[in-house]
Chains A and B, each alone.
Chain A
């Protein structure tokens, strides 16, 4: 079982550019959540996808958007990058049928640096 895989592992972008991060969930999982972890902070929830729909969103601007594909993989897109978007972006997968108490499995993250 490959677990949750994210790509790329590191990325450097310039202010104003756009970026796409990718996530493949753990085998058997159908729900993908994205989190932003700024340096020295805990992860903050961006949004969650289930059945190819965004079903919950955290307090992030519309510059942050996502997509889930039929195979449950997901993308996170960030437009008009700001220096403050520099962070570790974590993808977490879960199975909706296992309930909230199951927790989530996290990938290794993508380190985004905006210069």
Chain B
């Protein structure tokens, strides 16, 4: 079984400032890691994923995330945020074997203000 903890329920930040959204996971098996974004009244959109190889992965809209196996973390970062980045962000994991079902964290609301 897997679990995901997103340490901040809400992160307020000013436009053009850097941001980090934190994610820790727990699993008894090897996992793949994902970040999804949800804009108001919409479904989930895949931002980026870690499968293997380089621990720094780049995604859409200028986001990147770093996988840290020893700390079981997968934090999401952006060097300069825009108003349009205001949304809910979800970290998720899936087992590398078996069926492709996702276990999500509770989400972090990123609030970007001018």
A and B assemble together: yes
Q: Hey, which bits of chain A sit against chain B, CB under 8 A?
A: 4, 31, 33, 35, 40-45, 48, 55-56, 58, 90, 92, 94, 96, 99-109
Closest to B101 in A: A45
**Contact of B49 (CB < 8 Å), options: A43, A56, A103, A106:** A103
CB-defined contacts of B44 to chain A, threshold 8 Å:
43, 90, 92, 106
Q: How far is the CA of A90 from the CA of B92 in the complex (A)?
A: 15
Given known A-B contacts A42-B90, A42-B107, A102 and B100 have beta carbons under 8 A apart: yes
CB-defined contacts of B90 to chain A, threshold 8 Å:
42-43
Contact B32 A4 (CB under 8 A): no
Contact B43 A100 (CB under 8 A): no
The tally of residues in B whose CB lies under 8 Å from a CB in A reads 29
Q: Hey, which bits of chain B sit against chain A, CB under 8 A?
A: 4, 6, 32, 34, 36, 41-46, 49, 51, 90, 92, 94-107
Contact A100 B105 (CB under 8 A): no
A-B contact count (CB 8 A): 76
Other contacts beyond A31-B100, A33-B101, A109-B43: 19, CB < 8 A = A33-B100, A33-B102, A35-B102, A42-B6, A42-B90, A43-B44, A45-B102, A48-B101, A92-B44, A92-B102, A94-B100, A99-B100, A100-B99, A101-B96, A102-B100, A103-B102, A104-B100, A105-B46, A109-B42
**Contact of A101 (CB < 8 Å), options: B36, B49, B103, B106:** B49
Contact A42 B106 (CB under 8 A): yes
Closest to A10 in B: B41
CB-defined contacts of B34 to chain A, threshold 8 Å:
103
CB-defined contacts of A108 to chain B, threshold 8 Å:
41-43
Closest to B109 in A: A40
CB-defined contacts of B41 to chain A, threshold 8 Å:
108
Given known A-B contacts A41-B106, A100-B95, A101-B51, A56 and B43 have beta carbons under 8 A apart: no
Q: How far is the CA of A103 from the CA of B98 in the complex (A)?
A: 13
CB-defined contacts of A56 to chain B, threshold 8 Å:
98-99, 101
Minimum C-beta distance from A72 to chain B (A): 15
Minimum C-beta distance from B80 to chain A (A): 26
CB-defined contacts of A105 to chain B, threshold 8 Å:
46
